[in-house]
Amino acid sequence: MATPELNARVAERSEVAPGLCILRVVPEGWELSDFLPGQFAVLGLPASAPREPFADLEEPPKEPDKLIRRSYSIASSSKAREYLEFYVALVHSGSLSPRLFMLRPGDPLWLGRKFTGLFTLAEVPPERNVLLIATGTGIAPYMSMLRTHAPGGGTRRSAVLHGARHSWDLGYRSELLALQKGTDHFTYLPVISRPEEEFDPWRQHTGYVQDLWRSGALDAAWGFHPRPEDTHVFLCGNPAMVDEMSAILQAEGFIEHSRKAPGQIHVERYW
């Protein structure tokens, strides 16, 4: 089978923290198709592409021209039609992410033309509140949702609960803080799991997003405890967090959503 052409280019790259970067990707000679905030794209690079030097060593590829492809949530607004933004974590033992980390503006890569996924707000009734819970780069689909549909205006409350190891790993923090300042319909609650490694004392929540949920911090911000009758919850990122949070929510009466059995818990597991 012929190797698919590298049909896109990196327009911008920014380093959020060691092992975390934001890539803006533009199609080359074709138009981006429509997508719903929360959906994902597929990125690819040939096995011959260089790997980030800090990543684990790998055997020389047997098929250097073969594309390595992985899914990445789109972080940009679905109204931004010129580029797609991705928030990528370096997995040291991984195949594609150490290669994506070597990309610089102007470098070519492969971008799948179809954007898919059911992790969207499409099936959330407009009067329901939306709670967006993420670990690490799992914040990406929520950035697309919040950038496309700015909170405020209706009665819906939205909140982001974002967990990371360190404060500097909380990607999009300044944008989310600014959003919170701009409307009383939106709450941003970051939580870090390694406060002892901070350079300046961290005076906010510590532990995991599960601890944050149990702490009642959201109840204090919203003035009520979210219930299945009034709130849909999105869970994205580390599968252990997704499973634990889903179990906690199910014990409170929330149901995992599927097309056949509508519920209030929407999940996206990254691995």
DSSP 72-129: EE--S-TT--S-EEEEEE--TT-SSHHHHTT--TT-EEEE-S--B-S-SSTTS-TTSE
Smallest distance from ligand FAD to CB 41, Å = 9
Smallest distance from ligand FAD to CB 236, Å = 8
Query: With the C-alpha atoms ordered 164, 165, 169, 174, is the resulting torsion angle positive or negative?
Result: positive
Among 40, 208, 234, 254, binds ligand FAD (CB under 6 A): 40
Segment interacting with ligand FAD, rule: CB under 6 A, options 30-38, 91-99, 105-113, 195-203: 91-99
Residue 114 found at the interface with ligand FAD (CB under 6 A)? no
Residue 169 found at the interface with ligand FAD (CB under 6 A)? no
Among 89, 133, 161, 249, binds ligand FAD (CB under 6 A): 89
Question: Residue 17 corresponds to which amino acid?
Answer: A
Residue 23 found at the interface with ligand FAD (CB under 6 A)? no
Give the integer Cα–Cα distance in Å for 105 and 67: 20
Smallest distance from ligand FAD to CB 271, Å = 4
Residue 268 found at the interface with ligand FAD (CB under 6 A)? yes
SS3 call for 241: helix
The answer for residues whose C-beta is within 8 angstroms of residue 253's C-beta and 6 or more apart is: 227, 228
Exposure class string for 111-122: b at 16+ Cβ within 10 A, else e: bbeebebebbbe
Gap between the terminal Cα atoms of the chain: 27
The answer for residues whose C-beta is within 8 angstroms of residue 173's C-beta and 6 or more apart is: 162, 167, 190
Cβ closer to ligand FAD: 84 or 218? 84
DSSP 188-218: EEEEES-GGG-SS---SEES-HHHHHHHTHH
Among 88, 132, 170, 233, binds ligand FAD (CB under 6 A): 88
Residue 193 found at the interface with ligand FAD (CB under 6 A)? no
Among 60, 93, 155, 203, binds ligand FAD (CB under 6 A): 93
Site track for ligand FAD across 62-81, x = CB under 6 A: --------xxxx--------
Give the integer Cα–Cα distance in Å for 161 and 140: 13
**Parallel, antiparallel, or unpaired: how do β-strands 265-269 and 231-237 relate?**
parallel
Residue 94 found at the interface with ligand FAD (CB under 6 A)? yes
Residue 97 found at the interface with ligand FAD (CB under 6 A)? yes
Give the integer Cα–Cα distance in Å for 80 and 63: 36
Residue 91 found at the interface with ligand FAD (CB under 6 A)? yes
Residue 170 found at the interface with ligand FAD (CB under 6 A)? no
Residue 137 found at the interface with ligand FAD (CB under 6 A)? yes
Which residues 117-136 are close enough to bind ligand FAD by CB under 6 A? 117
Cβ closer to ligand FAD: 128 or 142? 142
Residue 102 found at the interface with ligand FAD (CB under 6 A)? no
Given the rule CB under 6 A, which residues bind ligand FAD? 40, 70-73, 86-89, 91, 93-97, 117, 137, 140, 268, 270-271
